[in-house]
Amino acid sequence: MTGILTEEQSLIQKTARDFARDRVAPGALTREAAGRIEDALIREMAELGFLGMTVPEDQGGIGADYVSYALALMEIAAGDGAVSTMMSVHNAPFCAILSRFASDAQQERWLTPAAAGAFIGAFALTEPHTGSDAAAITCSATRTDTGYVLNGSKQFITSAQIAGGVIAFAVTDHNAGKKGISAFYIEPGTPGFSVGAPEKKLGQKASDTCTLSFDNLEVPAFNRIGEEGQGLAIALSSLETGRIGIASQSVGMAQAALDAAVAYAQDRVAFGKPIAQHQAVAFRLADMDMQVEAARQLVLSAARLKDSGAPCLREASIAKLFASQMAERVVSDAIQTLGGYGYLADFPVEKIYRDVRVCQIYEGTSDVQRINISRALLAGRS
């Protein structure tokens, strides 16, 4: 149960659930083997509005609220975690940043088509030597008469191989510390821009993750997003939405594993009755259900705060931390319920187990979430 939803929220949830069941889940293993999300599926997601969910209608999106966004991501993630990751990064931070910080002319050129699903966007902040410490990036942007020249590299960039646009961050003033970073929009195909081979990952193999290289990459002044020195603030601006998104993914994948475990437990007979009727299994399923529901409500609570306009970084961090750790436990218990079959690639929980592990790493590690939560807690009691 998700609690009381509006008619629109219920419709979006049902649409996403039906789409995930009919179109996303059936191709998950084929998609993983190919290492790519098929173009046809992306087009269908665009037609349903899943690639511009919270972007206002006048900017090309469908103007959905964050509760609807969370619900949709849960359902898509239940179908395939890799597809939900592409959807999450495209919506926030990519579209979210353009919606908030891009100029009208930039929005018309980049955001409107992106929100309509004309192309997929990527977010390039992390570098080989720095992840959580975003202020430590060294990729440079040197001012020229017509714009900037970028040099450096980015690592672990989601959708880098299929992206039609990249928001990247580089140092424009090496003496200004955190205030010396600026944001830029890069169009793939520009001379000096190259994408490395997809990383070989534990899970979510259909969602490509690559290194980006900038070798004297010339970027027009028009492509700078916001003011010089505003880059770090821009990069961190969508943390709330991003963490709500990853928490939603975690809930969706955990729910899929729970559903598979329940179905198997009701069908598998041992000692003369379905194993679901054995207390040891029934109680395990009950604990799994409890954990998934607790995480779901944390996510929806954070989303409702976001919809109200109130700050919710603490709540988003709590939801992301709890949901991502919960998901690994629940999927592990699903494997245990299926026994030997749970360990086989022929059954869905093996893939979900691999896919869900990264939710404790990207969009802020579990340790980073604890830092955010503890800071909020201590500040409130000072």
Residues acting as catalytic residues: 363
| Contacts with 155 (C-beta within 8 Å, 6 or more apart), sequence order | 126, 127, 128, 211, 212
Burial label for 200, CB within 10 Å (0-12, 13-18, 19+), is exposed
In the block, tokens 């779901």 appear at: 296
Taking the C-alpha atoms of residue 33 and residue 55, their distance in angstroms, rounded to an integer, is: 33
Rg (CA), the chain: 21
Beta partners for 141? 150
Cβ atoms of residues 183 and 234 within 8 Å: yes
Q: Which two tokens stand for residue 248?
A: 């939603």
